[in-house]
Structure 1
Amino acid sequence: MNKVFIALLLVTALAAIEGTIVSTAIPSITADLLGVDLISWIYSAYLLASAIAAIIFGKLADLFGRKRMIIIGIIIFLIGSMLCGLAQSMEQLIVFRAIQGIGAGSILPITLTMVGELFKTEKARAKGQSYLSMVWGVSGVVGPLFGGFIVDQVSWHFIFFINVPFGLASIYLIVKHYQEQLEAVKRKIDYLGATLFTIGMVALLYVIIDNSKTQAWLSSQSLLMFGTAVIFLSIFIWVELRAEEPIIPLTLFKNGRLMVINALTLSAMSIVIGVTVYIPIFAQSVLGKNATQAGLLLTPMSVFWTVNSITAGYLIGRLTNKRIIQMGTVLLIVGTILLARLSAGSSDYSVYIGSSLIGLGMGFIMPMLMISIQKVAHPKQLGISIGLNSFTNTFSQAVGAALFGMIFNLATSEKIASLGKGEIQLNGEFAKGGFRTEEVSFLKETIASGVSYVYITAFAFAICALIFSFFIATKSKESR
């Protein structure tokens, strides 16, 4: 069991290190490939593909086995990673990030399900979840630092190749040590439902992302895409109600306690993507940091997420899951308030404290949510319930990236355009020449203001998370 769990930790590191490495490279990527207004797509394409793939891979794992599907997913992820490293335009990078996301979609839900099998008691599962969170935390520290170093010393292209040794090592351990007992059960895959769901969700997200930079919400293209989303998602619901084995059983949405957990997941993870994307932008554009130093500013969130994930495991039995989650949401509120107060005159410490509090809050919340799902989900629907939560986890980040991108662009685009200097890079290069002192100050104030508005929105998500936490179930489904 130990070797299998090590393999799962390594697989988790594969997914975890990806997001943090990319975050510190975004300013350099946009400076090289141009297309600042496409920043949201770099995250959203990956997250949307990952979210959809999480549910589809969950079903495929039921049919072909978890071992086979997680290996296939890792291979797809590695292919996408290498293609990202070879990208020569922003459009290419976005497409390759989507391929990467398809592979990553297999990792989180299958890993969580396998951990549930390895650890039989609630306390053991909590500790298992805490170790997974610790991997995310360590990756959150190593990723930005290593990624920033590579960006500063070599090129952003090389950060994507870091995934290759992680992926190969995890494949080796899973192939050698994970023994799976497959039941000969004939299942039908809902390909039609998966296709309808994918088209509908891509169309919906496209409307959000595209209008985050154009604000043309009532244009013919926007209305067409929105109509496409409504039509395909409506047909999807009709198909799922009649499917023999629906890709998303709609009966899950009748489980109110499960929906509360997913709503809290959506609120909390939206805040995380706001920190991951806009702290490096603030650090390089306003504070004048390089990519490595910007990565350091993300470190506190990862470290304290890890600390409180471990602490949460030890609090099981002393406090209810509900109380631990509520403590975490309060920390999110305080952290987002501090980040919402960022300005051109803020110091590094303001960022450190705010992101640290958010890390502490997430450390309490996320392991407990997974334990809560195992309490409220029907045993026969545990896999798909975890898959739906994984979908919510990644989709919330996709929507959050798009929403925050829209807010940031609304707050900054017109002001930056008024300078008449063309497109401004967000890696702080404008401060090194070509601009007068007062113009540099104006740009820093404008970017800082945009980041502040992002975290005001994140504060609203934190309030929602606190409200949802009061409806978390304290008893398991079987005990009621």
Structure 2
Amino acid sequence: MNKVFIALLLVTALAAIEGTIVSTAIPSITADLSGVDLISWIYSAYLLASAIAAIIFGKLADLFGRKRMILIGITIFLVGSMLCGLAQSMEQLIIFRAIQGIGAGSILPLTLTMVGELFTTEKARAKGQGYLSMVWGVSGVVGPLFGGFIVDQITWHFIFFINVPFGLASMYLIVKHYQEEITAVKRKIDYAGAALFTVGMVSLLYVIIDNSKTQAWFSTQSLLLYGVALLFLTVFIMVELRAEEPIIPLSLFKNWRLMVVNGLTFSAMSVVIGVTVYIPIYAQSVLGKNATQAGLMLTPLSVLWTVNAIVAGNLIGRLTNKRIIQMGTVLLVIGTFLLAGLLASSGSARVYIGSSLIGLGMGLIMPMLMISIQKVADPKQLGTSIGLNSFTNTFSQAMGAALFGMLFNLVTSTKIASLNKGEVQLNGAFAKSGFTTEEVSFLQTTIASGVAYVYLAALVFAGLACVLSFFVATKSKAQA
């Protein structure tokens, strides 16, 4: 069991690090491949593919077993990694990142499901989930630093090649040590449902991610994509109602206790995306930090998330998972309340304290959500249920980024445009670009105001998470 768990931690680390390791390699990648205007899609292609793959692989694992599907997922991830390292153009890299994202999207729900099955007691499961959360937290800090080291010492291509030996090692451990019993029954795959869901959600997520940057919400292209998403998702629901083995059983949405957990996931992760995107903007534009210093301001979030994820596992048995989640959401509310009060004159301390409290809160919340899913989901649909939660996790980040981006632009764009200075970079360079002292002060105040409104919206999400925490189930489905 220990060797299998090590394999799961290892493959989780690969998927987690790959989401952030490219950040420090972007300058080298664009210098080598050109295509600066396509930079955002290096991240977005990975995000899109991960979101879709999570829910589909969760269902396939219920049909064909965890072992087979996680090996397929790791294989896809490694093939995508090698292709990324061999990419000769930005377009190729984006396509290969999508392939890599499919593999990464399969890894998350399957590792969570397998940990739930490896450990028999709730306390042991909580500790296992805590270690997985720790891996994600550490990866958020280590990824960019490790990526920078590889780029400086070797070449950006190796940030992708480095995955291969570790991925193969995890596959070896799973093949040799993971034993799984699967009932031999005839399976019917819902190909139509998978295809309709993929097209519909890719269209919806694409327009959300793209418009979070362009704000062209009602352009002809956006309206067309809305229509495609609505059409395919409507037909998808009709198909799922008749399918023998639906890729997403609609009965999941009748399980209100499961929907409470998904609502909590959506709300909490929306807060996290607000922190990770807008603290660096505030740090550089208002506080005058450089990119490295701004990135380090996110360190308390990752480190304290990791610490409290372990603490959460040790609290099981002393407190219910519901109470632990409630404690986490209260910390989330206090942290976002502090950030919602940011001014141009606030300084670094308020940012550090606010992000630290949010990190502590998320460390308590996320492992307990996995425990809660295992309590309320039908065991035969556990993989699908966790896949749906993983999809909700990713979808909330796309939605949160779009909402916060729209709100930030509404608050700042008109005021910034009134200076008639053209496009203003949010890295703080305006302080050295011919602006007067008064104009710099005006820009700092305006940007700080925009960031504060973003965190006011995040406070609403934190409040919603706090309310939902009171409806988390304390008993398993079998006990209810």
Q: Deviations over 1:340-393 (max 9, x none)?
A: 223333322222111110111111111111111111112222221111111111
Corresponding position of 2:465: 465
Asked whether the equivalents of residues 80 and 100 of structure 2 are also in contact (C-alpha less than 8 Å), the reply is yes
Once the two structures are overlaid, the 10-residue window that deviates more, 128-137 or 399-408, is 399-408
**By how many angstroms is 1:222 displaced?**
2.9
Q: 2:210 matched to 1:207?
A: no
Which amino acid counterpart does residue 314 of structure 1 have in structure 2? N
SS in 2 for 1:478: coil
**By how many angstroms is 1:397 displaced?**
1.5
Once the two structures are overlaid, the 10-residue window that deviates more, 370-379 or 157-166, is 157-166
Q: Deviations over 1:253-294 (max 9, x none)?
A: 111111111111111111112222222333334333334323
Corresponding position of 1:276: 276
Query: Take 1:451 and 1:90, find their aligned partners in 2: how far apart are those partners?
Result: 32
Query: Take 2:355 and 2:58, find their aligned partners in 1: how far apart are those partners?
Result: 33
Corresponding position of 1:360: 360
Q: 2:343 matched to 1:338?
A: no
Which amino acid counterpart does residue 100 of structure 2 have in structure 1? Q
Q: 2:251 matched to 1:251?
A: yes
**Cα distance, 1:285–1:87 mapped onto 2, change above 3 Å:** farther
**Cα distance, 1:465–1:223 mapped onto 2, change above 3 Å:** same
Counterparts of 1:85-164 in structure 2, within 5 Å, are 94-147=94-147, 159-160=159-160, 163-164=163-164
Corresponding position of 1:61: 61
Counterparts of 1:31-46 in structure 2, within 5 Å, are 34-35=36-37, 39=40, 43-46=43-46
Query: Take 2:91 and 2:423, find their aligned partners in 1: how far apart are those partners?
Result: 17
Query: Take 2:285 and 2:158, find their aligned partners in 1: how far apart are those partners?
Result: 23
Query: Take 1:434 and 1:90, find their aligned partners in 2: how far apart are those partners?
Result: 34
Query: Take 1:127 and 1:188, find their aligned partners in 2: how far apart are those partners?
Result: 36
**Cα distance, 1:301–1:320 mapped onto 2, change above 3 Å:** same
Asked whether the equivalents of residues 415 and 446 of structure 2 are also in contact (C-alpha less than 8 Å), the reply is yes
Counterparts of 1:187-198 in structure 2, within 5 Å, are 187-198=187-198
**By how many angstroms is 1:117 displaced?**
1.6
Corresponding position of 1:315: 315
Once the two structures are overlaid, the 10-residue window that deviates more, 263-272 or 136-145, is 136-145
Q: Deviations over 1:294-344 (max 9, x none)?
A: 332121111111221111112112212111111111111111112222333
Counterparts of 1:437-452 in structure 2, within 5 Å, are 437-452=437-452
Query: Take 2:278 and 2:115, find their aligned partners in 1: how far apart are those partners?
Result: 32
Which amino acid counterpart does residue 171 of structure 2 have in structure 1? I
Counterparts of 1:276-295 in structure 2, within 5 Å, are 276-295=276-295
Q: 2:427 matched to 1:394?
A: no
**Cα distance, 1:419–1:254 mapped onto 2, change above 3 Å:** same
Asked whether the equivalents of residues 341 and 452 of structure 1 are also in contact (C-alpha less than 8 Å), the reply is yes
Asked whether the equivalents of residues 62 and 382 of structure 2 are also in contact (C-alpha less than 8 Å), the reply is no
Asked whether the equivalents of residues 24 and 280 of structure 1 are also in contact (C-alpha less than 8 Å), the reply is no
Asked whether the equivalents of residues 21 and 146 of structure 2 are also in contact (C-alpha less than 8 Å), the reply is yes
SS in 2 for 1:329: helix
Q: Deviations over 1:173-214 (max 9, x none)?
A: 334433444443321211111111111112223333344355
SS in 1 for 2:297: helix
Query: Take 1:374 and 1:366, find their aligned partners in 2: how far apart are those partners?
Result: 13
The CA RMSD measured in Å over matched residues stands at 3.1
Once the two structures are overlaid, the 10-residue window that deviates more, 287-296 or 249-258, is 287-296
Asked whether the equivalents of residues 48 and 206 of structure 2 are also in contact (C-alpha less than 8 Å), the reply is no
Query: Take 1:407 and 1:214, find their aligned partners in 2: how far apart are those partners?
Result: 13
Corresponding position of 1:47: 47
Which amino acid counterpart does residue 289 of structure 1 have in structure 2? K
Query: Take 1:155 and 1:279, find their aligned partners in 2: how far apart are those partners?
Result: 29
SS in 1 for 2:471: coil
Q: Which consecutive residues of structure 2, in runs of 5 or more, have no partner in the other structure?
A: none
Counterparts of 1:4-23 in structure 2, within 5 Å, are 4-22=4-22
Corresponding position of 2:177: 177
Asked whether the equivalents of residues 144 and 298 of structure 1 are also in contact (C-alpha less than 8 Å), the reply is no
Corresponding position of 1:70: 70
**By how many angstroms is 1:83 displaced?**
5.3
Corresponding pairs, count: 478
SS in 1 for 2:186: coil
Q: Deviations over 1:97-151 (max 9, x none)?
A: 4333211111111101111121011111111111112222222332244346667
**Cα distance, 1:89–1:254 mapped onto 2, change above 3 Å:** same
Corresponding position of 1:324: 324
**By how many angstroms is 1:13 displaced?**
1.0
Asked whether the equivalents of residues 81 and 160 of structure 1 are also in contact (C-alpha less than 8 Å), the reply is yes
Query: Take 2:121 and 2:326, find their aligned partners in 1: how far apart are those partners?
Result: 23
Query: Take 1:315 and 1:55, find their aligned partners in 2: how far apart are those partners?
Result: 30
Corresponding position of 2:263: 263
Which amino acid counterpart does residue 300 of structure 1 have in structure 2? P
Question: Normalising to structure 2: TM-score of the pair?
Answer: 0.89
Q: Which consecutive residues of structure 1, in runs of 5 or more, have no partner in the other structure?
A: none
Query: Take 1:428 and 1:239, find their aligned partners in 2: how far apart are those partners?
Result: 51
**Cα distance, 1:221–1:139 mapped onto 2, change above 3 Å:** closer
Which amino acid counterpart does residue 385 of structure 1 have in structure 2? S
Which amino acid counterpart does residue 223 of structure 1 have in structure 2? L
Which amino acid counterpart does residue 394 of structure 2 have in structure 1? T
**By how many angstroms is 1:21 displaced?**
3.5
Query: Take 1:372 and 1:356, find their aligned partners in 2: how far apart are those partners?
Result: 25
Query: Take 1:303 and 1:47, find their aligned partners in 2: how far apart are those partners?
Result: 23
Query: Take 2:220 and 2:55, find their aligned partners in 1: how far apart are those partners?
Result: 32
Query: Take 2:417 and 2:79, find their aligned partners in 1: how far apart are those partners?
Result: 38
Query: Take 2:37 and 2:331, find their aligned partners in 1: how far apart are those partners?
Result: 35
Asked whether the equivalents of residues 211 and 402 of structure 2 are also in contact (C-alpha less than 8 Å), the reply is no
Corresponding position of 1:233: 233
Corresponding position of 1:375: 375
